[in-house]
Amino acid sequence: MSLAPVIRRLGLIEYEPTWRAMQRFTEERGAATPDEIWFLEHPPVFTLGVNASRAHLLSPGAIPVVQVDRGGEVTYHGPGQLVVYPLVDLKRAGVAIRDFVTALERAVVDLAAQFGIRAESRRSAPGVYVDGRKLASLGVRVRRGGSYHGLAVNVALDLTPFRRINPCGYQGLEMTQLIELGGPRTVSACARALEPHLLRALGYLPTAQASARAAAQASAL
């Protein structure tokens, strides 16, 4: 990918206005519009993808539930979770959707490795896992050649709401988070550490440059 993306750090922001903003950006972007990557957190919310079954929404209680247009099943977002929305012109970049998802997973695996955490992806179940527990969830949508939605990395959050659902449609799937594994302890630190890995995985930074940037970010954590 040739054009450097615009990085936006949006803090804690409500889910639905963010979703609508992603849709609007994708509809309005032109052939020369730079890609953007949004780093943020959401207040507590359950979201259901286009193929989600409400049978996996066990006991939402007072937490809002939003039906959205991404792929995948039901998941939870809340404070302490890093949400990353890469708004990428895949058509311009010549990147297939499967390769894009793989790149997002690889960025999180590389982030984990930076902190001595052995993580892996699963082709049959998108996301990133550590010892069978899910560290990061993925769900994307492509429209007019542009991606939106993205990934969510558990950093330091209350994981109990995941017990109110079958995460990503898998009964009994356990979640984990970076603070328990020796990784970054805050969302902002995680965003700084993840950024160079993400830029490299998506092809914005050469490997050597991304590695140097990751080392610099790590020394600042």
Q: For the sheet containing 45-48, what is the strand order?
A: 65-67, 45-48, 74-77
200: amino acid identity, one letter: R
User: Per mean pLDDT, which range of 1-10, 58-67, 75-84, 210-219 is the poorest?
Assistant: 210-219
User: What pLDDT score does 209 carry?
Assistant: 54
List, for residues 6-52, the tens digit of each pLDDT value.
999 999 999 999 999 999 999 999 999 999 999 999 999 999 999 88
End-to-end Cα spacing for the chain? 28
pLDDT band at residue 124 using 50, 70 and 90 as cut-offs: confident
The CATH number that domain 6-220 falls under is 3.30.930.10
Cβ distance 74 to 134 under 8 Å? no
Indicate the domain borders of the chain: 6-220
User: Per mean pLDDT, which range of 3-7, 23-27, 74-78 is the poorest?
Assistant: 3-7
List, for residues 170-198, the tens digit of each pLDDT value.
898 999 999 999 999 999 999 999 999 99
Cβ distance 118 to 112 under 8 Å? yes
pLDDT band at residue 123 using 50, 70 and 90 as cut-offs: confident
User: What pLDDT score does 51 carry?
Assistant: 86
User: Per mean pLDDT, which range of 81-95, 144-158, 201-215 is the poorest?
Assistant: 201-215
* The two structure tokens encoding residue 39: 């780093």
Buried b (16+ CB within 10 A) or exposed e, 121-147: beeeebbbbbeeebbbbbbbbbeeebb
Type and span of the H or E element at 198: helix 187-201
Q: 203 — phi, psi (to 5°)? A: 90, 15
Annotated active-site positions, please? Answer: 168
178: amino acid identity, one letter: L
CB neighbour list of residue 92: distance below 8 Å, 6 or more residues apart: 31, 145
